[in-house]
Amino acid sequence: GAGVSQTPSNKVTEKGKYVELRCDPISGHTALYWYRQSLGQGPEFLIYFQGTGAADDSGLPNDRFFAVRPEGSVSTLKIQRTERGDSAVYLCASSLMAGGGTGELFFGEGSRLTVL
Amino acid sequence: AQSVTQPDIHITVSEGASLELRCNYSYGATPYLFWYVQSPGQGLQLLLKYFSGDTLVQGIKGFEAEFKRSQSSFNLRKPSVHWSDAAEYFCAVGARGSTLGRLYFGRGTQLTVWP
């Protein structure tokens, strides 16, 4: 596709359940990022992939959060034992390259997660 | 630690009026600076960015921003606002080097445009 695609666009789950959020980046973009945007706040960095490996996962709030990008393209953010505080919009972004690149991130529309 | 402050949570202007959205940052070195716009149901879109050189940068949709190192500011301006500019605006700072892409965002400024 032309842009970053995120699915599902909306997810409602119950406290304690497991959730997966998927991100399909722009074709050819080697860098992929996950951000979380809580109500009334700006996006907050979670994790960054360069290719298949997580180059920086220091933004993940705790060990219930995990992300993978096994083939260097699509990424999945996984949240175990969801809590009400996990409710937010999860944004995915990709860029042509990190480090020496232009630094422009292309964001998807986000996946809105609601934990009841 | 890096941080971004957008002191105005909500701004209302009349169509055709000028606009300035404030952004102050805290960073240990010269940062990369960005403004993004977020419209309902759409992803964040880059308006403009500052990396180096001329401190007045031009962006899309008629926006510009000026980097003022002495004030640690990167305010966004537009001479004449259009109704379609109503959206939420985020200022962000990024680190140079390998962690480029890890951006620190402000909490955003919601812009309302009156006809």
- Percent of chain B exceeding pLDDT 90 equals 74
Nearest C-alpha of chain B: how many angstroms from A35? 9
Number of neighbours of residue A3 by Cβ within 10 angstroms: 14
Number of neighbours of residue B96 by Cβ within 10 angstroms: 15
Provide the residue type at B38 as one letter: Q
Q: Does A111 touch chain B (CB under 8 A)?
A: no
Is the CB of residue B103 less than 8 Å from the CB of residue A45? yes
> Parallel, antiparallel, or unpaired: how do β-strands B32-38 and B45-50 relate?
antiparallel
A65 or B29, which is more confident? A65
pLDDT at A11 over 90: yes
List the single residue in B51, B103, B107 with the smallest CB-CB distance to A40.
Answer: B107
Of the listed ranges A60-69, B24-33, B62-71, the least confidently predicted one is B24-33
What is the C-alpha separation between B70 and B104, in angstroms, rounded? 20
- Give B19-63 pLDDT, tens digit per residue: 999 999 998 777 889 999 999 878 899 999 998 888 999 999 999
- Give φ, ψ of A94 to 5 degrees: -135, 160
Nearest C-alpha of chain A: how many angstroms from B80? 26
Asked if omega into A43 is within 30° of 0 (cis), the reply is no
B98 or A115, which is more confident? A115
- Give A93-115 pLDDT, tens digit per residue: 998 875 445 567 899 999 999 99
Contact state of B43 with A3 under an 8 Å Cβ cutoff:
yes
Q: What average pLDDT is seen over chain B? A: 91
